[in-house]
Amino acid sequence: MNLDQSSIFIAPLGAPVHRLAQRFYNQHANPHIAKRVYLNTLAVSAVQFYLECMGIESDRETSHSYNSIMQAMMDVADLNLPGMGRLECCPVLPEAQTIQIPPDVWSDRIGYVAVQLEPSLKNAKLLGFIPSPGDGAVPIQKLRSLDQLLEHLRQLKLANQPATLSHWLQGLFETSWRSLDVLIGTAQPMALSFRTDALVSEATVRRAKLLDLMLQLDEQSVVLLVAVTPEAEQQLGISVQVHPVAGEQYLPVDFTLRLLTDAGEALQEVRSRQQDNFIKLKRFRGRSGERFDIQIALGEKVSITESFVI
């Protein structure tokens, strides 16, 4: 439906949905928590129904909102989307003008969908979404459209596909990985430092990716740079750096760059200090078919993981 030029979606809340909500309600002795869990369950069900209609897979049972222990510990209404992350489903009362996002879910989320519950609780309206929680109080008129939500999820799915580094040597690149000249320009210090690395040869292929870190009150972007060099015995040498975006001189303090195995074990870690204009991992090698992850994090609030296959 279109309402005042904003796209909304009406989801039915039938008997099976209320039975599930009642089951969760009965698991909590505290009436305040029980009511909160009931409404959160309805909101998650509405978003799940919408995503099913749009052909987007979700996994309710691996969501924190499906776990009675997590329900009691946190005000949580997440829906896990495989290959993308957790989408928070925020219940909104009929007369509310602002969405209240609890601090419990300000991190580890790919977005927040506003779900307005009708007084009868027979239907729910999906009003729109936001990619980050801001200060936790978001005016409804600031919501982005559901069409933008679908595009947001599409981009996330593409971004979460591992980059194949051996393909880079053949001139085949994932769309999110750009040339340094296109993304940051030839005059930027980060481009120059990457080109003059003593361990990089003429056969080296370099690509860059812009990463957005969604913080509580603002957005911070950084550039991830990866260089791949063919070596003897069918190995690839790999260099990784992180720089601030053009116009910013330094990285945030306590910014962390990690090399992880595909099982999540940390192999390297480096942290930014005061007035660091870039950080980098020690150069490493790998063979065709091996997998690894690069994780960047800012404190305990925000982290992004990029997956690679050699």
Joined together, the tokens standing for residue 126 give 């999906």
209 vs 206: CA distance, rounded Å? 11
pLDDT digits (tens, 9 = 90+) for 174-228: 888 888 776 655 445 554 455 555 455 678 899 999 887 654 334 567 889 999 9
Locate the DSSP E strands across the chain: 2-3, 6-7, 9-12, 78-81, 85-92, 98-100, 111-117, 123-130, 137-139, 163-164, 205-214, 219-230, 235-244, 255-261, 266-271, 279-280, 284-287, 291-298, 302-309
Are 8 and 125 a contacting pair, CB within 8 Å?
Answer: yes
- The pLDDT assigned to 213 comes to 66
Joined together, the tokens standing for residue 202 give 């003429």
Token match 């030839």: residue? 186
Residue 109 pLDDT > 70: yes
Task: Please give the residue that has the higher pLDDT: either 33 or 6.
Answer: 33
In sequence order, which ranges of the chain are alpha helices (DSSP H)?
15-26, 31-53, 68-73, 146-159, 165-168, 180-184, 189-195
Mean pLDDT, to the nearest integer, of 46-71? 94
pLDDT digits (tens, 9 = 90+) for 27-39: 999 999 999 999 9
φ/ψ (deg, to 5) at 151: -65, -40
Joined together, the tokens standing for residue 111 give 């977005």
- The pLDDT assigned to 200 comes to 56
Tell me the Cα Rg of the chain.
22
Token match 């309710």: residue? 60
Please, what is the end-to-end C-alpha distance for the chain in angstroms? 46
- The pLDDT assigned to 251 comes to 85
- The pLDDT assigned to 212 comes to 73
